[in-house]
Amino acid sequence: MSDEPFIRCRGLTKVYHKGTTEVIPLENLDLDVPRGGFLALMGPSGSGKTTLLNLIAGIDTPTSGSLLVGGVEISKLRRAALTRWRAGNVGYIFQLYHLVPILSAFENVELPLLLSPLTRRERRQRVFTALDLVGLTDRADHRPTELSGGQEQRVAIARALVANPNLLVADEPTGDLDRESAGQILALLRELVAEHGKTVVMVTHDPKAAAAATVILHLEKGRLVEAEAADAPLEPTHSPS
């Protein structure tokens, strides 16, 4: 890993206004995440963890402070430039998968590439590479209703990977899964970090899920209250099916 942090936050603050009420979900936060790191964000509802995740992903913009990701100060980018940056650099993994039910696994993974200048053959190659990474090439023609919850989430991860981003952000990626499927997803995320150099930032309420990360960050009322090393071994799970 490089000594230069992949994600660097300084004085990061987000303020919303609801009528005359000022809401500050994130206040004056400093944070460094190394390239190839796996960070778990924990904290009660309203602690600012999802706000921080969305800022790092370029989905939202800070009110003040600086935020660099991969050497790009995304806190200074205008909306169109931020959209372009996000498309090429970030893969987002949701709790509820957000797969299109009438499309096959292949077609769901291909969706982010349809507006790219890639040829059909190039898109196909990228889709199968992503499906291979998550162990689902044999389910490429299956629709979401023909897949288990764990398989649906792996399709969603393949979709997040298909543009080959350096950063993966995951919002409760195991929250809707049984224990065995959750373990498989966490093992996959660790593999993407260890073997493919991805940087992962994950929001979770589950201490067992957080233990898969290399660092656990606790937020309380928009502030960092403690950080701890994790990197605990995952409990054994069956091979993905």
How do residues 178-197 score in pLDDT, each as one tens digit? 889 899 899 999 999 999 99
Residue 41 pLDDT greater than 90, yes or no: yes
Q: Is 51 among the domain residues?
A: yes
**Predicted pLDDT of residue 235:** 47
The reply to whether 80 falls in a domain is no
Residue 71 in any domain: the answer is no
Alpha-carbon distance of 161 to 92, in angstroms, equals 9
Examine residue 241 and state whether it is found in any structural domain, yes or no: no
Q: How far is the C-alpha of 167 from the C-alpha of 70, rounded, in Å?
A: 9
In this predicted structure, the answer to whether residue 117 has a pLDDT above a threshold of 60 is yes
What residue numbers bound the domain in which 186 lies?
34-59+90-229
Whether residue 216 lies inside any domain: the answer is yes
Average pLDDT over residues 168-179: 89
- In whole numbers, what is the pLDDT of the chain averaged over residues? 88
Return d(Cα 102, Cα 178) in angstroms, integer: 24
In a domain, 234, yes or no: no
Nearest to 167 by CA among 123, 197, 211, 125: 197
Percent of the chain with pLDDT over 90: 68
Q: Full-prediction pTM beyond 0.95?
A: no
Residue 56 has pLDDT above 60, yes or no: yes
Q: Which residues pair with 22 in a beta bridge?
A: 17
**pLDDT exceeds cutoff 90 at 23:** no
Is residue 99 domain-resident? yes
- What confidence tens digit (pLDDT) does each residue in 208-230 have? 999 999 999 999 888 887 666 56
CATH number at residue 47: 3.40.50.300
Q: What percent of the chain has pLDDT over 70?
A: 93
- What pLDDT does 104 receive? 96
Number of domains making up the chain: 1
Q: Are 56 and 32 a contacting pair, CB within 8 Å? A: no
Q: Identify whether 24 is part of a domain.
A: no
